[in-house]
Amino acid sequence: MQRNQNPRLACHDDIKPTFSWSNRLAALKHRLQGKPNVRPIGPYPSSIVDSQGCEFGYEMFYHVPYAYHLAKIGCLQRTVSCSGTKCFYFFSPDHREVYDRRQFVKHLDSIDQRPHESPDANRWEPPNFAAHYGNKIDLSFSKPLLLIFNKYNVEWDHPPINFLSTAFLDRVVQKTQDRFSLVYLRPTSHIVHDHMPVGNLNEKERLRDQGVILAEDLYEDYQHLSFNEFQLCLLSQSQHRIAVQGGAAYLNALFPGQMMLLHRYGGEQLHGNYIDFKRMGVTELTVHNNEFDMLDRLDQFNHSLRHVA
């Protein structure tokens, strides 16, 4: 899929933004307010992109495309984020990992956005992760790769809501494993450090016994990579994905291919964020509010995949 190009981006290549006196005064104001990483440059909110340790999905949706656009026009000074994020900012001249946990942030200062707002298209350009990481490792799967991203954690101070059940996972395996190599990813507290406790769905041994490859098992052969970089390599080699509402859905949307997404609850549908997903790189996205609809769609999903694989 060819990414959408904003015709206004070309004008920035001719006139590189510079720091004005108003920018310098604004930077001083932010510093006095305890926001030293907010340094406006020309019309841009900041030449330093600081995620503030925000939720993973928002960083993929807002910070990474904004930082990439700044890098392309030669105005990115620095990126600041959580541990294990260097791979997302491969284009950054100076990436610093200062946060060890993620949290909900009401206002994303260095990009001047609030969660669920539609990103400003004039300063938003997702990097082509698939091209950058597509040939980094040779996974050598015998069949097309189907990635299944799941989660099982506390959401909005409630028990897990957006997750794929064990019964649904069994049906997916039955319907697809003759045609696909299945890799299953459900992050644990050893991989993700978040403000929401992670539970145990007790599904992994069951899936392993059915021939599904667990991501953490596969990762053992690629310990020279961070787990995030390993995920980028996996996604770069997959055209077929099933995911759930949350951070991994935003990451998936940055890659071409087909994605089925379970969304039971969350602000993305209310605020129209899934419409923006189609600008991020994913070729085909279907959003489902329950697993029954996903199972009905799965047959069509598989049929259409015969022409893509």
Would you give the end-to-end CA distance of the chain in angstroms?
A: 14
Number of domains in the chain: 2
* Co-location of 137 and 285 in the same domain: yes
* Co-location of 236 and 295 in the same domain: yes
Tokens of 145: 């790769």
* Co-location of 41 and 169 in the same domain: no
Give the domain extent around 122. 9-127
* Co-location of 63 and 168 in the same domain: no
For 211, residues 6+ apart whose C-beta sits below 8 A from its C-beta are 173, 177, 182
* Co-location of 292 and 151 in the same domain: yes
Domain boundary among 127, 154, 184: 127
How confident is the prediction along the chain (309 residues), in pLDDT tens digits per residue?
344 444 333 334 457 899 999 999 999 999 999 999 999 999 999 999 999 999 999 999 999 999 999 999 999 999 999 999 999 999 999 999 999 989 999 999 999 999 999 999 999 999 999 999 999 998 889 899 999 999 998 888 888 999 999 999 999 999 999 989 999 999 875 555 565 667 789 999 999 999 999 999 999 999 999 999 999 999 999 999 999 999 999 999 999 999 999 999 999 988 989 999 989 999 999 999 999 999 988 876 655 544 443
* Co-location of 158 and 250 in the same domain: yes
Is 299:288 a contact under the CB 8 Å cutoff? no
Q: Is residue 82 part of a domain?
A: yes
* Co-location of 157 and 236 in the same domain: yes
Strands (E), the chain: 48-50, 78-82, 95-99, 145-149, 181-185, 213-214, 240-244, 258-262, 284-288
User: pTM for the full model?
Assistant: 0.90
| Whole-angstrom distance, CA of residue 217 vs CA of residue 223 | 11
| Whole-angstrom distance, CA of residue 197 vs CA of residue 188 | 9
Largest Cα span, the chain: 64
